[in-house]
Structure 1
Amino acid sequence: MMNPKPESVDQYFSWFTGEVRQRLELIRELLQREIPEATEVVSYSMPALKTTEVLVYYAVAKKHIGFYPTNSGVSEFKKELESYQTSKGAIQFPHDKPLPLGLIAEIAKFRFLEVQAKPGKKKKT
């Protein structure tokens, strides 16, 4: 596959099987349960959850699932993420370790509250 662009989250998921697919489904179900107000979208060719802006993205890599809660989502949980490879706005959850579902939920909820607290963007009428 040469960097395909999925048209939907379901299409993205269809490209994976077995344990990797199960891990994606776990993240998807968790995010939908924790933030039912958000909509699933594809952004930057990755599944993402969005309200007024994208809260988190996630994607499969060769040896991990990348979770992208923006810079604030990583910096706010710096201590809890010490055992994971992180960068400015990304966290790597290795395929050979259990997903930290509680931590993923906390980060996603933090991003939801952070975005909700921003002043609303008013549309011109």
Structure 2
Amino acid sequence: MPMPKRSSVEDFFAQLTDEQRQHLEALRALSRKVDADAREELKYNLPVYVRGEKANLWTLQNFKHHCSLRFTPAFFGAHKAAVEAEGYEAGAGFVKLPYERELPTELLTSLMRARIDDYEKTGD
């Protein structure tokens, strides 16, 4: 089943299932806490946290049985092993977060802060 079209970030969150909502709302709150300067924008039908003109810091994704925190593969490559060492599945740029597990807040915070540091050094 294709993902329903969203009209805004608020609409994205309004269309979540009950199973998805807890994790994605927590990721949203964590994103806002870690980087109060990032803007929430709807891109690719998903919430994206943006700095500057158009630098995408990270994206929230929802799926049936998990959600993901997605970064660019170029950034995430250096962090993938640490994510896997914590017992989470990781792919080319993302951390897979099953709904039946608690969010690894400390791990996600460190990834977000590392991405902010990367943005502040490179501007991208």
Q: TM-score, normalised by structure 2?
A: 0.86
Contact 1:42 1:48 in 2 (8 A): yes
Partner of 2:21: 21
Partner of 1:81: 83
TM-superposition CA deviations, 1:54-103 (whole Å, max 9, x none): 10001111111011011144222223211222211122111111111111
Q: TM-score, normalised by structure 1?
A: 0.86
Distance 2:98 2:28 in 1: 17
Contact 1:73 1:110 in 2 (8 A): no
**How many positions carry a matched residue from both structures?**
120
Partner of 1:71: 73
Aligned residues: CA RMSD: 1.8
Task: Identify unmatched segments of 5+ residues in structure 1.
Answer: 121-125
Contact 2:79 2:111 in 1 (8 A): yes
Q: Which runs of 4+ in 1 moved over 4 A?
A: none
C-alpha displacement of 1:39: 0.3
Partner of 2:111: 107
Distance 1:42 1:69 in 2: 15
As a proportion of its length, which structure holds more helix?
2
Q: Percent identity of the aligned residues?
A: 26
Distance 1:111 1:104 in 2: 11
Partner of 1:117: 121
Please identify the structure whose Cα radius of gyration is greater: 1
Partner of 2:10: 10
- What SS does structure 1 have at the residue aligned with 2:37? coil
